[in-house]
Structures are given as structure tokens and as C-alpha cells.
Chains A and B, each alone.
Chain A
């Protein structure tokens, strides 16, 4: 009974941590002389208050989920991909190029090709650090971050030069943006809101990633390499290659997120010079969503919706109660800190539960905690 309660508690822990973060946020609101109840009511209303606002939440959740799926793959393979931003940008660029080039082809074909191109673009941007890691043992955290910077400059160059909207090229303002995609190339809307087909694609892919990780040889190997490179090596798995592959796949999903953002929401690429100007920092927030979903592709779905809701709702809250926008960032950060800390706390408690048996106090020479009695036939 007690054990069941503890399991339930563990499962609810991320939710409790979120509530705790909101409680701390409430304190900050009080210091700013804002009624937290009014503020949070606005947040809820903004995220879930109407069909339109809920649709907007899902629109924001879509790139988060796609990035998160990639993160599930790479983190399970013990590869830390911080390059989601750059991978989204490159995926968006390649996908946009397809839509602007094949203007005579039927819509369904162009969309399919474009999404595939986005997938490949992201795969390229994730694959390069992957190959560097496999070949020269280059730290992927550094290389993926650096690839972000390269991607931004590449985007800025292309949108100001080769890919600039021809009409802008004529004007003196020269706004760095591409031409708008033909209406036939836009992803279908699901309900009369901004919600588009991309959300559905993301959910289907979440199921496919689940199958990939737990039902295929590839997923088995990625997880094996992530959990124990030593045992994997002996099992005949070429560990560097699978780490590189995990990073490549991770980048591919981020690239797809970028492509879907263009074909489902923006219909063109436009840059303000920064990465987040295009991505909305989804390349980073997707990591948080994946961790929140315990690196499980299916749990990443509600996790992404939660963070989508926070993003959308926070906008509304800011408008209603007039607080500095920095506070919204702080609140997001609080949620992340609380959830990650609660996860660490949960693991510690679990370890303590496991080690509170006398076997663990007689550590075997491997120094591993053991539970249960030795089998005696």
C-alpha cells in the first residue's frame, strides 16, 4: 500500500513541482503588487480558455514536441544535443528552398518533399557533430552549440542574398525574408483555427519514435550504447557509429520541426538576425519538454503541451496584468528548475529505498547495491 502511494507520488511529482514553481512565481507577482490569482487566471484563460487559445497552445507545442522526440533519441544514446536551434533553422531553409523552387508541382508532392528536405537538412546539421564525435571524439555539446551559430549566419546570409524575396530585393528596405509560399503548399488547417496538420504529424511521429526505441534493433542499440558503452562494445555494437546516428536522427527531427514551422505557421522565412527570432527558442525548450517527459516520446506529448500552454498563457498574462516580459522567462525557468530538481530528488529517494536492505550494506566487491537474496535452489 505504502509502496503504491509512493509510486503514485513519483508519477505526480512533475505536476507537483510545476505547482510549486507557480507558487514561487506567485510570490514574485505579489512583490510586483500584482494579484497572482488574476494573473494565473489570465494565464489559464490564455492557454485553454477558448478553442482558439487551445489551438494556439497546440501550435506552440508542435515544434517543441518534434524537437523533444529527437532529444529522446539522442539523450537515450547518451549524446547531448544542444543544437536544436541550428538544426531547426537548416531544416527550415532546405524545406523553404523546395517550396520556392518547385512552384509548378502539385501541393501534396511539394509538401512531402519539403518536409523530407527539412528532415534531411536537420540530419546534416546533427550528423556533422555526430561524425566529429565518432571520428575524433569531439565533445558534442560544444560542437552542436557552435553549429547553432553557423546556422544563424547561414540563414541571415541566404535571406539577405540568394533567397531574398524578389519583391524585397527591388525595395530599398530589403527586409531579409523569403518570398511567401504558394497557398497550395500550406499545411492543411485542422479546425478553423491556426492549428495545422503538423501537430498531427508530430503525434504520429511520437508513436513511431516509441516503436523505434523499443521495438527495433536500431533503438535497442542506441539505448544500449547510451546505458553502457562497455557492455555494448562487447556485444559487438560499434558504439561511436550509433552515437553519431543518434545525433543525426535527433537533428533530423529538429529539422522537421523547422520545416513544419514554415509550412504550417509562417509560410515564409524571415529573420531578425537571431536564432530565436525564427525558432522561438523551441530548439532549447524542446530539451526541457523531453526531460519533463522523462525522455519518453509519448510522455513528451503532454510535456510539450504544458510548455506550449505556458508560452501562450504567459503572453496573455503579460497583457492583462502588465508585468515585465522578463518575468515570463523567469517563470518558465522556475518550472524547469523545480521539475529537474524533483527528478533528481526522486532518483535519490529511489536509490535510498533500494539500498536500505542489508545486502547493500555488505557491498559486493563490485560495490554495487544488491537487493533480494541470492538464489538458493
Chain B
């Protein structure tokens, strides 16, 4: 083997083979990692798949030196190594791209890369040297990046590239990518995959953590599935189907494409006519939005985060004032009504930030379940709460919505995200609403809970409820919606019927490019 073969373009020696053997990590009461074997080779993408709490992060934090394993060893090119801290792992050539970027927005790209590293000029900064090296690396790996740009000026996809450059600058031969696609548009995901392919071609090893099956199938060479801290199996990606992977992850048969059935679309129940509002910063949040949601229909609202989704939901449910336009709920203008009045008109809301807006964390499950109607009979009479009735009501909903909780008296903060969402769903759906606004209803939930929430929304659609589904997850929008509206900078770019919607088409609209312009841009 010549020297050329063992070197990466960055000049660093390859990690031919990294192996974790019999990794076990116990936390009080939980076996987070149970004798897990995992390995990654130079030049491959090895996907790590599993639900929340399956042990993916525990395993990767052990590899990155954030946790010490109770049992098991790590071998690098066949030799055992000790990784006691992230410094050790960086020295060994292991880099990690975190899900939440570790960048300082007010500094430039070069400053962020240099942050925490010794300067070649001792006390003085060496940003020009850093910039030069960044440009070198960017050229080698085909990453377009300006070292002098401020991070706050960059898009999310560009910020991710800065993170990758940062890792490469520190000499990473093996990269752990923790859910890197969660925050990207479809086009940005494609760009990331191009970079990933280039890196593997050059001899890097990549660990790709995700729970999006189609991405795993598209990018990875091998895939390992974890469940409840145990390894279920490792297979070459070409030899396994998405359905098998999903079943492995959850441990039972799951429906990947929910059965939508056919529902007769009814009258328009919610209409927005030329609605505008301000964002929290006082800039325009919505700009003349026109939308209609019909009975028995799910209207999907697609868009990159921060393009008016939050403002749209809050305006409809009465938490944000409109600056213009009319909101018509079942024939009556409701713009300016309070949340309480809208509650009485049977509008339900599944808020985006369920921990903050959906439940009161220090309240019991039973108290949370009456949040919307606590002042009404039978939950209270002449100002006094009927605790017996409240508890009966809670027990009934816990059973009906399969909420996993020790009791109805458990505090909401002690439940998992999926079960908290079930409490919100139970409360909002059980009151037989006419219109539901669901904002990011499955964000952060695992496959099992996601499947449940989607089934419940489809069930409401069957019952003739008008549903607005606001989601940044395009797969979800495509799986559930009858029509899809794309929001960009507070405006509706277009409304596409389900049959004509493709990820590519929606992706362009999400980036603010209308279909008639798209041809010239794509070609």
C-alpha cells in the first residue's frame, strides 16, 4: 500500500476500521446499551437506526468520549484505544456533527473554526492562516463556503457545512452525523448527500444517525438497527427493505403509509381571506394569506421553518392579532376573538411547542386533560372543581388514547414526549372539534408514537373534521394531506393537490421558486 492510499485528501491518515465490541452502559434502572457491537470502515456510510431511547446517542457519546462504557472496548485499525474525553476522540480522528449546531452566530466562519484551537502565532490570532486552510479544505471536498461570512448570515444548510469543515479542520477521518437532515430542505439534503458521497470516495468513514428510512436507504452502505439498547442486526442496505427496517425498529408490523381511505370533502369550515399579521420581531409574519380548509380534508402547510408557520397557527387560534384580512370559521368572522371564544366554537389546537403551550408540566395528567374546559360542567360546578369527575374523565381518556402513565395523578413533566402528545391529542380531539389546527404534531416523536398521532388525525378526517396540518416534515405532509399549501416568507407560494405533489416540486416552492421559474433554475 502506498502512502497515497492510506492518506485522506486532508492529509490525515485514514481510519481503515473502527470497531466497538460488547459496549454496555447502564443508567439507574435502565440498560441503555446492552453488549452492542458496531463497526465502520473507511469509505462507507454506516447508518444507525432506532427510535428515541433505543441507545443510538448513548453509543455515539461513548465513541465520542462523552460517556465511559461499563463494559466493552473500542478498536481502531485493530488496536484497542481508550477514549476518555472528546479531546481523545478528536486526537484519534473522530469528529461529530451535532444535531444542534455548536456555532457562535456573531462570529465569522473562520473565527468559529479557530475557536478553541491554539493559534500558530501564540498570543496573536492567525485567522488568515485558518481562512487559507478552510479554502483548501473547501476546494478538496467541494464545499462552497466563505471563511469571512458571519454565521448568522448563513442558511441552515451552510451552517452545517461549517460544522463539517470544523471537523475536517480538526483532522477528522471518521465523522458521526447526528440526524443531520432533520433541519434541511429536500434540496439541502441532496447537497449534503453529494458531500457525503465525496467524503466516502476519498476514504472517510461516516456514521449516519437518522430515523428517516428513505434517507438511510438512499445514502448508506450498511445499516444497523438498535432497539431498547440492543442491536437487532446489521445488514448491507441493498439487502433490506424499508418495511423490514421499520419493523425491526419498532419490534412489530407498522404501517409506513397510513391508510387514508376515501372521504367525501365537505363544506369549507375555515377560510382565511387576505390575512396578514406581524411576527414577534414586528416584521410582517403573514402577508395576505388566502386558504380554505374543508370538512373531511387535511390541508398540509409545507415550508422551511420560520416562514410564517407559527404566525399562521397562532393567528387562527386567537393568540396573535391580525393586521389585515378576515378569518371565517363556519361562516362567522372570528378574527379578534379570544382563545376561549374560539374554544367554544369547537376549534382545537395541537401546538407546536407541546411542552410549553400544550401542557402545564407541573400539573397532573388529569388537570392537563381539562385545561380547555375546566370551568365548564361536569368538571366544575359553581366555581368548585369536581375532582371525582375530573379523575373519571382522565381515566377514560388515558384508556382510550393509550397514554402510558402510572396514574392520572402523575405530573405531566414525568411523561415521555409521545405520551405528552397523546394527552394533548386526547384533550383536543375528545371534545368533538369542528376544525383542528395541528402544528408539528409528530416532531420529536418516534415511529410508534408518530404512527399513532397520524392515525388519529386521519380518523378525525374520516369523521368530517377540517384539519390544517402544519409540518416541516415533507414525508408527513405528503402522507397525510389532501392538498398542500407551501408557505414562503409569510406568503402562500402555491396550493398543490396531493396527486400532483412531489418532494422536488414542493422543495422548489419551499425555497421560494415558483414552478414557472423552476425550469430555468434547475437546468
Q: What residues of chain A have their CB less than 8 Å away from a CB belonging to chain B?
A: 214-218, 220-221, 223-224, 227-228, 230-237, 353-354, 356-359, 361-362, 364-366, 368, 370-377
Contact = CB atoms under 8 A, between A and B. Distances in A.
B445 to A, nearest CB: 7
Given A216-B383, A233-B319, A353-B28, A227 B360 contact: yes
A58 B259 CA distance: 69
Contacts, number: 157
A368 B443 CA distance: 13
Interface in B397-455: 402-404, 414-419, 422, 443-446, 448-449, 452
B384 A234 contact: no
A174 B319 CA distance: 60
A231 B250 contact: no
B52 A374 contact: yes
Given A228-B356, A234-B351, A235-B371, A365 B361 contact: no
B349 A234 contact: yes
Nearest to A368: B355
A377 B55 contact: no
B294 interface: no
A228 B371 CA distance: 12
Contact of B385 (A215, A233, A366, A374): A215
A375 B404 contact: yes
Given A234-B351, A375-B449, A359 B360 contact: no
B498 to A, nearest CB: 26
6 contacts: A228-B356, A228-B362, A231-B359, A235-B339, A372-B419, A375-B416
Given A217-B385, A364-B52, A376 B357 contact: no
B122 interface: no
B371 A224 contact: yes
B384 A366 contact: no
Contacts of A361: 32, 57-58, 61
Given A220-B367, A358-B229, A359-B53, A372 B446 contact: no
A366 B355 contact: yes
Given A232-B360, A236-B372, A357-B28, 14 more contacts: A216-B384, A217-B385, A227-B363, A235-B340, A236-B339, A358-B32, A358-B33, A358-B229, A362-B57, A366-B354, A366-B443, A374-B445, A374-B446, A376-B251
Contacts of B30: 357-358
Interface of B: 27-30, 32-33, 51-53, 55-58, 61, 182, 228-229, 250-252, 317, 319, 338-341, 343, 349, 351, 353-363, 367, 371-372, 374-375, 380, 383-385, 387, 402-404, 414-419, 422, 443-446, 448-449, 452
A358 B339 contact: no
Nearest to B52: A362
A41 to B, nearest CB: 42
Nearest to A366: B355
B357 A231 contact: yes
Nearest to A211: B384
Contacts of B319: 233-234
A373 B338 contact: no
Given A236-B372, A366-B354, A370-B417, A375 B362 contact: no
Contact of A370 (B52, B56, B351): B52
B340 to A, nearest CB: 3
Contacts of A375: 402-404, 416, 418-419, 422, 448-449, 452
Given A215-B385, A230-B356, A357-B29, A362 B404 contact: no
A72 B27 CA distance: 37
Contacts of B362: 227-228
Nearest to B32: A358
Contact of B383 (A218, A357, A370): A218
B317 A370 contact: no
Contacts of B449: 374-375
Contacts of A377: 402, 448, 452
Contacts of A220: 367, 374, 385
B338 A236 contact: yes
A235 B182 CA distance: 31
In the complex, the 3 A-B pairs of residues with the closest C-beta atoms, listed nearest first: A236-B340, A364-B444, A358-B32
A231 B374 contact: no
A216 B402 CA distance: 29
B99 to A, nearest CB: 8
B322 to A, nearest CB: 17
A230 B338 contact: no
Contacts of B384: 215-217
A359 B57 CA distance: 9
A217 B61 contact: no
A175 B380 CA distance: 54
Contact of B339 (A215, A227, A234, A370): A234
A236 B53 CA distance: 35
B380 A217 contact: yes
B187 to A, nearest CB: 21
Nearest to B358: A231
A358 B416 contact: no
A353 B29 CA distance: 10
A368 B343 CA distance: 28
Contact of B27 (A217, A221, A231, A356): A356
Given A216-B385, A357-B27, A233 B339 contact: yes
Contacts of B417: 364, 366, 368, 370, 374
Contacts of B385: 214-217, 220
Given A234-B319, A356-B28, A362-B56, A374 B355 contact: no
Given A235-B339, A236-B338, A374-B52, A358 B58 contact: yes
Nearest to A223: B363
Contacts of A232: 360
A280 to B, nearest CB: 34
A328 to B, nearest CB: 36
Given A236-B340, A368-B355, A231 B445 contact: no
A230 B374 contact: no
B415 to A, nearest CB: 6
B248 to A, nearest CB: 14
